[in-house]
Amino acid sequence: YFRRRIASKLSRVFERSEDEFISSLYAIPVSKKQQSPDFRLSINSLRLNGILPANGDLQTQTTALAHQLKQDSVVEEIFAGPGVINFRVCQTLLIQKVLEQLSKERHEFGMRSELFHGLKKGTTLVEFSSPNIAKKFHAGHLRSTIIGNFIANLKEFLGNNVVRVNYLGDWGMQFGLLGAGFQHFGCQEKLKINPLQHLFDVYVQVNKEAENNDIIGKAARDFFKQLEQNEPQAMSLWKQFRDISVIEYQQVYKRLGVHFDVYSGESFHQQQAQEVVEQLQTRGLLKTTETGTRVVDVSQSGDMSSYSTVLRSDGTSLYITRDIAAAINRMELYNFDEMIYVTDKSQGTHFQQLFQILLAMGYSWAERCQHVPFGLVQGMKTRLGDVLFLEDVLDEAKARMLRNMSQAKTTKDIDDPEDTAEKVGISALIIQDFKGALVSDYKFDWDRVLQTRGDTGVFLQYTHARLCSLIHQHGDGEEGTTDPSLLLDQRSISVLQHLLRYDEVIYQSAHDLQPKHLVNFLMTLSHLAALAHKDLPVKGSTPAVAQARLQLFRGICTVLGNGMNILGITPVEKM
C-alpha cells in the first residue's frame, strides 16, 4: 500500500507508470538509535532505469526531486539524504495498514507483493539431497537436503509449481565394487537388519581389498558391465540395495519434514546416456582419445583440460553422461521454466560443463538451469565419532536438546518432550547452516548451535513459543478493533516498520536463493519481539491496550511461523 502511494507520487512527477518505481523503493531496516524513515528511494536506481539522466549532479537531482514531491496525509515527511530520498509515512496509518494486512492475509502475509512480479513463474524443478547409495550420507548431503527444501518451499510459497527431485547416486563403477563386494563379504541377514550400515561396511571392505587385489578390481568391472547390460541376476541384487536404501532415507526425510515428488537416480538414465552419446556423435561434438574414451571439447579451444569424458573405452557411461540424459528427460517430462541443482561447490565445474554441453547440443533451455553451490561443514562429529549417517546427527541434536530442556523450568508442561526436542534440535541445525552465504565453509560446534541466546534456531523457537503461550493465555486480540493510537510507542512502531520489509527479504532470498536474508530478518524480528514482550505487558493493561498489544503479538507470531516454515523449520508452540 505505502509503496504504491509513494510510487504514484513519483509517477506524477515523471509521467511514467507507477510500476517503474515500485522496485526502486525499499523499506529501511529498523535502527536502534534514531527514528528511521520508513521507505527510501535511491536516485541511482532512477538513473540506472533511465528515468533520470545519468550525467547530472547527483545531489542536485536529489534535492530537486525532493522539492517536487508533495507530502500528504499518507506520506507525511519527505526529505533528501545523500543520493536518496526518505519517506516517512503516517505512523497511525502504518499501524493500521500492517495490522489489517496481518489479520486479513495471515499465512500469505507479504506473499502477494508486487515486488515478486519480476520473479520467474511457472514450473520449478529443484533437485536436491541426492545421496549415493552405499556410500555414507555425509554433512554435504544434509546441507543439500535442507537448502533444496528451503528453495522448494520458497518457490512454492511464491506460487510456482514445484517438482522436488531426489537424484540418487545409484549407478556407476561403485556399484560394480559394491556388487562384487557383496558377493564376497555380504550377508543377506545383515542387509535386512541395518542396510545402510551393512552396505557401507561392504563398500569400505571391498575398496580396501581392491587396492592390493586385482581379482576384486576385475570382478567389480565385470559386475558393473553386467549391470550396464541389464543382466537379471546383477540387476536384482542392485535393485535390492536401492529399494532398501530408499526406505531408510525416507525415514530420515520424514524426521526432517522433507518430501520428494520424484525419486529418480542415475540408473534411470543409463540407456538414454547411450542415445546422448549418439546425438553428440551426429552433431560432431565427440572426439576419441588415444585410450579410446569419448570426450566432448567444452571450451572449443582445443585445450585438453576442458575435455569432458562422456564414454569409457569399454562403452560404459559416466556421471556427466547420465546428467545430460537426465536433464533432457526432465525437460521432456516437466517442461520446466527453471531447474535448480543443489550440491557442494566442488561440483561447480561439472555443472558448468553440463550446461555448456547441453547448449552445444542445441538445447537453449540449458540457460534455465542453475547450480546452487554450498561450502563444507567442518568438524561435524557425534559422541560416537565421525558422522557416518544423517540419522546420527539428528539423534545427537535431539539428545542434546532434551538434556538442555530438562534443565529449563518450563519443560514439564510439554506433552511430548522428545518430539519438541527433535524439532528444536533440527531448527538449530538449519539456522546454523543458513546464517551465512551458502558457498562459505563453516565450523560446526554443538554448543554454539544449541545456545538459547544469540542468533540460534533455539532462540527463534523460544520466541515463537513464548508468543504462542501469551496468546494462549490472553487471546489473539483479533475479536476487537485496534485503536492505532495505542501502539504509537517505539517498541510497537519498530516491529511494524520491520514487518514492512518482509516482502523485500523474501524477494532477495528468491532472487539469489540465499536463506540468510530471511534468517536475519527473523532474528531481528525475534529480538524486537523480546523487547516488546518485556516492555509492553498485556496483563494489567486496560482492555483496549491489551487487545492492541495482543494483535501485534499475534502478527509477530504469524510472521515468525511463516518464515520458519519457508526455511523448513516446524514452529513449536511450547518448549
Span 11-50, contacts to ligand ARG by CB under 6 A: none
Residue holding cell 537436503? 145
List all residues 6 or more positions away from 419 whose beta carbon is below 8 Å from its beta carbon: none
Span 198-217, contacts to ligand ARG by CB under 6 A: none
Angle at 231 between CA 228 and CA 232, to 5 degrees: 135
The residue (of 169 and 195) whose beta carbon lies closer to ligand ARG is 169
The three cell numbers of residue 522 are 527473523
Contact 92, 488 (CB under 8 A): yes
Return the number of other C-beta atoms located less than 10 Å from residue 334's C-beta: 17
Q: How far is the CB of 332 from ligand ARG (least distance, A)?
A: 16
Q: Which stretch binds ligand ARG (CB under 6 A): 124-132, 328-336, 519-527, 542-550?
A: 124-132
Cα separation, 267 vs 227, in Å, equals 10
Give the active site residues. Answer: 135, 138, 141
The residue (of 330 and 549) whose beta carbon lies closer to ligand ARG is 330
Q: Which stretch binds ligand ARG (CB under 6 A): 96-104, 130-138, 150-158, 172-180?
A: 130-138
Residue from the set 62, 91, 130, 264 that interacts with ligand ARG by CB under 6 A: 130
Contact 281, 333 (CB under 8 A): no
Q: How far is the CB of 161 from ligand ARG (least distance, A)?
A: 20
Q: How far is the CB of 298 from ligand ARG (least distance, A)?
A: 16
Q: Which stretch binds ligand ARG (CB under 6 A): 125-133, 239-247, 457-465, 485-493?
A: 125-133
Cα separation, 521 vs 516, in Å, equals 8
Judged by CB under 6 A, does residue 341 bind ligand ARG? yes
Residue from the set 37, 169, 179, 186 that interacts with ligand ARG by CB under 6 A: 169
Closest by Cα among 545, 559, 433 to 489? 545
Size of the site for ligand ARG (CB under 6 A): 9
The residue (of 130 and 562) whose beta carbon lies closer to ligand ARG is 130
Closest residue to ligand ARG in the complex (CB): 169
In our burial notation (b when 16+ CB lie closer than 10 A, e otherwise), range 539-575 reads eeeeeebbbbbbbbbbbbbbbbbbbbebbbbbbbbbb
Q: How far is the CB of 341 from ligand ARG (least distance, A)?
A: 5
Span 373-402, contacts to ligand ARG by CB under 6 A: none
**End-to-end Cα spacing for the chain:** 37
Judged by CB under 6 A, does residue 170 bind ligand ARG? no
Cα distances (angstroms) measured from residue 300 to each of 109, 239, 307, 320, 546: 50, 40, 9, 18, 71
CA dihedral 323, 151, 381, 375 (to 10 degrees): 70
Q: Which stretch binds ligand ARG (CB under 6 A): 126-134, 183-191, 530-538, 545-553?
A: 126-134
Judged by CB under 6 A, does residue 323 bind ligand ARG? yes
Residue from the set 62, 124, 132, 166 that interacts with ligand ARG by CB under 6 A: 132
The residue (of 323 and 504) whose beta carbon lies closer to ligand ARG is 323
Which residues partner with 386 through β-bridges?
381
Residue from the set 2, 109, 116, 167 that interacts with ligand ARG by CB under 6 A: 167
Judged by CB under 6 A, does residue 343 bind ligand ARG? yes
The residue (of 54 and 333) whose beta carbon lies closer to ligand ARG is 333
Judged by CB under 6 A, does residue 338 bind ligand ARG? no
Packing angle, helices 390-406 and 232-256, rounded to 10: 20
The single-letter code of the amino acid at 157 is F
Binding positions for ligand ARG, rule: CB under 6 A: 127, 130-132, 167, 169, 323, 341, 343
